[in-house]
């Protein structure tokens, strides 16, 4: 039963979500947010690295899925987000775990059936798909959606006997 850690990187809040996957059944394990505090960007990046490292050490995932950076109009924000994402990727690499990447549209499509779904729709579907009593906070829901996206993609690849194009293995 693979355990998947989904990460929704952010320079102020990084969401995480952990699910177990067995066939067509997914089970919620944990979710939350690494709230980033620090005076400098370097301090904040260190908090993200330590937070992801602690989550990996506590929950022992088999694979990590990370949302790719969405570039909007603000280049400075996109650069900070890219650095936050990079630190999360380094934490996964340091843990020697297979890493998979998905665009925001891929994640939304996998969870809601629409690649342009609103954040509230993602939260609602995460709650339904994981049979949660209430919707998780937005950043945690986004991270759980990343994990669910990987779970669905992984199941398809295992059935086809293929491997993921971005580095990891499908049938670990």
130: nearest Cα among 8, 26, 59: 26
Give the active site residue among 63, 67, 101, 142.
Answer: 67
Q: Is 67 a catalytic residue?
A: yes
What dihedral do alpha carbons 119, 20, 61, 139 form, nearest 10°? Answer: 10
> In this structure, what token pair is assigned to residue 168?
């990891």
Instruction: State the Cα–Cα distance between residues 78 and 2, nearest whole angstrom.
Output: 32
Give the active site residue among 63, 101, 139, 142.
Answer: 139
In this prediction, residue 1 has a pLDDT band, given cuts at 50, 70 and 90, of confident
CATH architecture of residue range(s) 3-160:
2-Layer Sandwich (3.30)
Q: What is the pLDDT of residue 162?
A: 56
pLDDT at 31 over 50: yes
In this prediction, residue 77 has a pLDDT band, given cuts at 50, 70 and 90, of confident
Q: What is the pLDDT of residue 167?
A: 39
pLDDT at 70 over 80: no
User: What does each C-alpha distance from 14 to 25, 86, 101, 119, 149 come to in angstroms?
Assistant: 26, 12, 16, 15, 18
In 68-144 the beta strands, taken as DSSP E runs, fall at 99-102
CA 98 to chain centroid, in Å, comes to: 13
Report the share of the chain in percent with pLDDT over 70: 88
77: nearest Cα among 67, 86, 69: 69
Provide the mean pLDDT of the chain: 87
* Higher-confidence position of 115 and 66: 66
In this prediction, residue 131 has a pLDDT band, given cuts at 50, 70 and 90, of very high
Give the active site residue among 8, 63, 101, 142.
Answer: 8
Q: Is 50 a catalytic residue?
A: no
Collapsed DSSP state (helix, strand, coil) of residue 43? helix
Domain boundaries, the chain: 3-160
pLDDT at 63 over 50: yes
Q: What is the pLDDT of residue 169?
A: 35
What dihedral do alpha carbons 77, 80, 86, 89 form, nearest 10°? Answer: -70
């Amino acid at each position: 039963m693979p355990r998947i850690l989904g990460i929704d990187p952010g320079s102020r809040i990084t969401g995480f979500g952990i699910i177990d996957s067995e066939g067509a059944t997914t089970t919620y394990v944990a979710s939350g947010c690494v709230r980033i505090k620090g005076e400098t960007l370097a301090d904040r990046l260190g908090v993200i690295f330590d937070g992801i490292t602690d989550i990996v050490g506590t929950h022992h995932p088999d694979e990590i899925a990370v949302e790719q950076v969405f570039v909007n109009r603000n280049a400075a924000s996109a650069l900070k987000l890219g650095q936050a994402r990079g630190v999360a990727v380094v934490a996964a690499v340091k843990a020697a775990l297979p890493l998979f990447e998905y665009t925001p549209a891929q994640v939304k499509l996998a969870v809601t059936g629409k690649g342009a779904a609103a954040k509230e729709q993602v939260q609602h579907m995460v709650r339904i798909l994981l049979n949660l009593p209430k919707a998780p906070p937005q950043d945690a829901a986004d991270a759980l959606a990343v994990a669910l996206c990987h779970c669905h993609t992984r199941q398809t690849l295992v059935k086809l006997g293929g491997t993921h194009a971005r580095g990891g293995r499908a049938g670990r």
